[in-house]
Every structure is written in C-alpha cells, then in structure tokens.
Amino acid sequence: MASLNITNVEKSFGHTHILKGINMDIQDGEFIILVGPSGCGKSTLMNCIAGLEEVTGGQICIENHDITGVLPKDRDIAMVFQSYALYPNMNVHKNISFALEIRKLPKADIEREVERVAKLLQIEHLLDRKPGQLSGGQRQRVAMGRALARHPKIYLFDEPLSNLDAKLRVEMRTEIKKLHQRLGTTIVYVTHDQIEAMTLADRIAVMKDGHIQQFGTPQEVYDNPANRFVAGFMGSPSMNFIDTELVSHEGQVCVKLLVLDQLHYLPTPSEEQGLKERVGQKVVLGIRPEQITHVIPHYASNPSTFIVNAKIDVIEPTGPDTLVLVKMNEQEVNCRVEPHEAGKPGETMSLMINMSKTVFFDPITGERL
C-alpha cells in the first residue's frame, strides 16, 4: 500500500510519442482505472509504472521515493496480465511461490503465504494443477494470487478480464472490487471497457493520444465530461451529440431543436453561464439517452423538462429499457424509454427531454463550453 505520483512522464519510441506528459497523483489505497481506446498509451503508461519500459522523461514516485530508474523487481509492485502469463511448466503452488523463493523467504513463510492466498481466492483445490489444466476463470484467480502473494505496495492490472466470457467477467469484476475493499491496496487498472471503469474505479483517468483527458471520480467523468471525447467514450449507449445553435429566446439562452417539422426552443441549464457569450454561435448539444424518455407525468411539470413529438425510426429493446431512435435537427438521437411505453417504428410518440444535465461543446475543438 502506497501513494503513487507520476510527474510529467513522457515516452517515445523513436519519433513516435506515446505518452506526452502524464501527471497523476494517486492516494494510498485508491483504485485508479486507466481507460481509453486502443493505442491511447494506457498500457505503455502501465508498463512504465511497472518498470518494463523506461520513460523518456519525467518522474515516477512510490511513497515519495523516486523509482524512475529502478528495476521492476525492486519497485515492489505486482502485475496481473491480460494473458495471465502463468508459468506453464510450474503448478499453481509453484506459480504463486516463485517470487517468494526468488526473494529467499524461509520455507515455512512461503507455505503460509501460499495457503493464505489460496484460501483468499478459493483456489486451494487447484494448487497441484498446471496452468494448462485450468479454466480461464481459474487462471485469472491464480494470476491474481501470484500478485497478492508478495504484499506489494501497488498492484497493476493490465486488462485482466478481457479474455473471459461475459458472465465470468461480471463475476470477476465484483470479486476484484470485493478484494480491493477488503485489502485496501493501491490499484492501477487498465481497461478499454468503460463499464468496468465506471463500476470499479475510485477515480478514472480517461486517456487519448498520450494525454489524460480527464481524471476524476466515475460520476464526475459521467456527468461533467471535460470534452466531447470523454463524453462519447463513457456511457453506453453513448451520449447524443446534436449540432445546433444558441439563440436568445424569451430572455433565456436556448438551443434550437427541430423535431418532426416543429421548431423548439429549449432553455439551457442556468449553471451554464458561459453560454451567454456564445449566443448566435453554433454549438454541439450533448444529451445522454436516459435524459430523453417517455413522458413521465410526475416530472413533466418540472421547469427543465420539455415535451416534443418525434417519429420513431428504429427501436432496440434491451430488456430493462428500449432504445428509440428518432431524428432531431436531422440527426439521429437515441432515447431510453420504458419498454411498454415505446411505440413502433413509423409511429409518432411524445418524448420528454430533461435539459438539466445537458452539456455543450465547441463544434470545432470539441472542448466543453
């Protein structure tokens, strides 16, 4: 358990710059998730923390000790790999005890440690098996056991659940969360799955093109995205982006929305003061699908909700909700409605838009306004 400070870390391979100045301050016991599309540098950053790649610039500190040039084995970290990376020629017991043997721990201590870890992860009955004889989920547990055995200061998880099937992935996700709550260790976890990021993290770092786009709690990242990329990356189905224009209408700053040949003026949330200066300019309205629903009478009187009539293009039932695809400002918009309220394709239905949580982006730079 330890804090981890990453200051201005850069990494390039030849002329390719992978990391362009990463800054992160991670507190003791925090569960941090690095998330981003493939090629964004998240795995490289992880390898730099582990010491498997040398950084080209910047500093990495664990517990305020500079470990930038220290060998991986002396950093006191443990890593769980996507491919599990179990030693194929050793049985589970050996896999877990290998690092302890290298560190020349007394035999009795090693035995005790293996037993403890095996019990913690419920793999006691597998200790004599070779990795080849284990299922994916069991291998995953062994890989975690190997990491846990050394009581390292920091755990690194490199897409550990990507190779599991969907059901097992959800189970293991919960288990990792439980494990973190029980052990209270500092964890840095790489994934490209934004649901994993939302469910597990204390704080999420959204990365793109070697930069951290936003670093905050899951709810912050979800509700207050720093830019259009973060807004689109987090959340499934993804946020709707509607090209529109800011106008002054009845004393309020509104956006123009054309739905089914009828022009609506929807007032922007009062917190978005900066929008006043942009009246008359084009902006991108960001609104999540769950903020466009069927008409719920209880909410309909709320000042921030507006009702529009739209023609349904496509419906996609997901079980708990049905996604309804309609056109606003000639652009496709996803709405999330109760299954029994959803109409059929071609029909017209009333939709309730909640403007209170909408966000606005610059149409060119994609930055939040």
Partner 1 sequence: MSESKTADLTSVAMTPRRNSRMGDTLAYWMPKLVLSPTLIIVLVFFYGFILWTGYLSFTNSRMLPSYDLVGWANYVRLFNNERWFVSLRNLAVYSVLFIVICLAIGLSLAILLDQKIRAEGALRTIYLYPMALSFIVTGTVWKWMLNPQVGIEQFVRGLGWETFRFDWLVDPNFSIYTIVVAAVWQSSGFVMALFLAGLRGVDDSIIKAAQIDGASRFMIYTRIIIPSLRPVFFSAFVMLAHIAIKSFDLALALTGGGPGVSSDLPAIFMYQMSFTRNQMGLGAASAMIMLLTVVAILVPYLYSELRTKKHEH
DSSP state of 279: T
Within 125-154, which residues bind partner 1 (CB under 8 A)?
146
CA–CA dist 358, 227 (Å, integer):
13
Q: Which is nearer to partner 1, 87 or 299 (CB)?
A: 87
- Candidates 74-82, 112-120, 329-337, 339-347 — which segment interacts with partner 1 by CB under 8 A? 74-82
Residue 150: CB minimum distance to partner 1, A: 8
CA–CA dist 80, 148 (Å, integer):
10
For tokens 């560190």, the residue is: 103
Q: Which is nearer to partner 1, 75 or 208 (CB)?
A: 75
- The reply to whether 87 sits near partner 1 by the rule CB under 8 A is yes
Q: Is 354 helix (H, G, I), strand (E, B) or coil?
A: strand
- Candidates 79-87, 192-200, 239-247, 352-360 — which segment interacts with partner 1 by CB under 8 A? 79-87
Evaluate the omega torsion of the peptide bond into residue 237 and state whether it is cis, within 30 degrees of 0.
Answer: yes
Beta bridge pairs of residue 285: 242, 360
Mask 13-52, x = binds partner 1 (CB under 8 A)?
----------------------------------x--xxx
CA–CA dist 62, 77 (Å, integer):
10
DSSP letters, 119-179, are: HHTT-GGGTTS-GGGS-HHHHHHHHHHHHHTT--SEEEEESTTTTS-HHHHHHHHHHHHHH
For tokens 């440690």, the residue is: 113
Q: Report the Cα 170 to chain-centroid distance in Å.
A: 15
Q: Which is nearer to partner 1, 83 or 252 (CB)?
A: 83
- Candidates 94-102, 182-190, 252-260, 306-314 — which segment interacts with partner 1 by CB under 8 A? 94-102
Q: Which of 35, 86, 126, 234 binds partner 1 (CB under 8 A)?
A: 86
Q: Which is nearer to partner 1, 101 or 171 (CB)?
A: 101
Residue 145: CB minimum distance to partner 1, A: 13
At 188, list the tokens: 């840095």
Minimal CA–CA distance to 268: which of 164, 207, 142, 359?
Answer: 359
* Helix (H) / strand (E) containing 223: helix 218-223
Count residues binding partner 1 (CB under 8 A).
Answer: 23
Residue 84: CB minimum distance to partner 1, A: 8
- The reply to whether 368 sits near partner 1 by the rule CB under 8 A is no
Residue 71: CB minimum distance to partner 1, A: 8
Looking at this protein, which amino acid is placed at residue 37? P
Q: Which of 3, 56, 59, 82 binds partner 1 (CB under 8 A)?
A: 82
Q: Which of 65, 103, 112, 151 binds partner 1 (CB under 8 A)?
A: 103
Within 248-307, which residues bind partner 1 (CB under 8 A)?
none
Binding residues for partner 1 (CB under 8 A): 47, 50-52, 72-73, 77-79, 81-83, 85-90, 98-99, 102-103, 146
